[in-house]
Structure formats: C-alpha cells, structure tokens
Amino acid sequence: MTDQKPSRREAILHALVELLETDPGARITTAGLAKSVGVTEAALYRHFPSKRKMFEALIEFAEDAVFSRCQVILQEQEDVRVRLQQLVHLVLVFAERNPGLCCVLTGDALMGENDALRKRASQFFERLETQVRQTLKEGEIRQGLRPRTSAARGADYVLVFVEGRIQRFIRSSFSRLPSTDFDECWGLVAEGVWG
C-alpha cells in the first residue's frame, strides 16, 4: 500500500491550520505561510488567489465534515434528546481534533481580515443553531417534548454551551478539551432546555 502525498493545495491548508494551532492569536502572513510550506508566495497564489480563499476553504472543510455527519445522526437516531446530544458531542469532538479550525470558526484568527470573511465564518454557528432549532421543533411535534420556553431559545441555550466550550478551549491554548465531562454537562444543558 502506498501513501498518497497530499496535493500542494492540501499542504498549504494543513500548514495554515498548524500555524493557527502553534501560535493562536498571531497574524498569519502569506510570507510566513509560504515559508512554512516550503514554497514561494507566488506558489501559494497559484493555488489560492488570496488569503481569504484559504480561510474560506478551511470553513468549507469544517462545514462539510460536521454537517455531513449531522445528516447521518439525523437519519439514524429517532429520539430527539439523543439526536441533539450526539449533534453537540460531534461538534465538540470535531473542535478538539481541529484546534486551528476553531480559531477560524470563532473568528479569532480572522481579526484584521476582511469583515465579510468573519461573517462567513459565523455562518457555521448560525447553520448549527438552525439545525438545533429544527431538531427541537421536531421533538415537540413527534415526541411531545416541549422546550421550557421556545425552540429558538432552546437552540440559543445549546449554542451558548457549544460556543463557550470552544472559546474556553482556545483561551486555554487548547488544554481544556471541549468534551471534558460531556455527559454530566449535557445533562445540565438538557435540563435547561426541556426542564
């Protein structure tokens, strides 16, 4: 069996994520990224017309990875409580395994970049919130599980938990894992959503 060498495009994105992991909060320059990959800046631009396109590719990767798995959970799991628990756990474990991407999705790595890029990154969490809200509404219709207030407020509550865990992970320089004590914490979140 032969190991396939990653494409230059993949190598560039991998190097970008590694830079975000090893020096969170530092501004990433194309010169620094090119040096990390071992190519010229011109070579970077042959694969990505701008740094913005590199970040967008990372956001798209995160969306594809998380939301394709969300669809599997939604198809396989009938109980909405379990479904929602698995969705949240999926996102937190994805964050643990991809710390550099967390910095992009939360916007930390995008400070000083184009405002449209930060808005693009925030769409990840908006899409997740929509999925959670829809799941809560389905639970109300199919299983009679009424949230304490509304599906919108329940989704907001769940997203505060998810985003808070991811922000704490970044703030701790990736030492406080988002899924630590997940079952216990999820019990408290679920109680806050459904009572």
In three state form, how does the secondary structure of 127-144 look?
A: HHHHHHHHHHHHHHHHHC
- Measured CA to CA, the distance from residue 25 to residue 170 in angstroms comes to 9
- Closest Cα partner for 190 from 126, 131, 139, 124? 139
Homologous superfamily of 52-194: Tetracycline Repressor, domain 2 (1.10.357.10)
pLDDT for 195:
83
- Measured CA to CA, the distance from residue 57 to residue 79 in angstroms comes to 34
Helix 151-171 / helix 115-143 crossing angle, nearest 10 deg? 130
pLDDT for 144:
94
Please give the average per-residue pLDDT across 64-70, as a whole number: 97
pLDDT for 24:
79
In three-state secondary structure terms, 53 is: helix
Q: For residues 104 and 59, is the Cβ–Cβ distance under 8 A?
A: yes
Q: Which residue has the higher pLDDT, 26 or 177?
A: 177
Please give the average per-residue pLDDT across 168-194, as a whole number: 96
Listed in sequence order, the DSSP H helices in the chain are 8-22, 30-37, 41-47, 51-76, 80-97, 99-105, 115-143, 151-171, 182-194
Q: For residues 99 and 21, is the Cβ–Cβ distance under 8 A?
A: yes
Residue with token string 């530092």: 26
Q: What's the residue count for the chain? A: 195
Please give the average per-residue pLDDT across 163-169, as a whole number: 97
Domain ranges for the chain, please list them: 52-194
Mean pLDDT over each residue of the chain, to the nearest integer: 93
DSSP state of 27: P
In three-state secondary structure terms, 158 is: helix
**Residue 5 predicted with pLDDT over 80:** no
State the amino acid at position 187 in one-letter form: G
- Measured CA to CA, the distance from residue 51 to residue 95 in angstroms comes to 22
Q: Looking at mean pLDDT, say which of 2-16, 22-36, 128-142 comes out highest.
A: 128-142
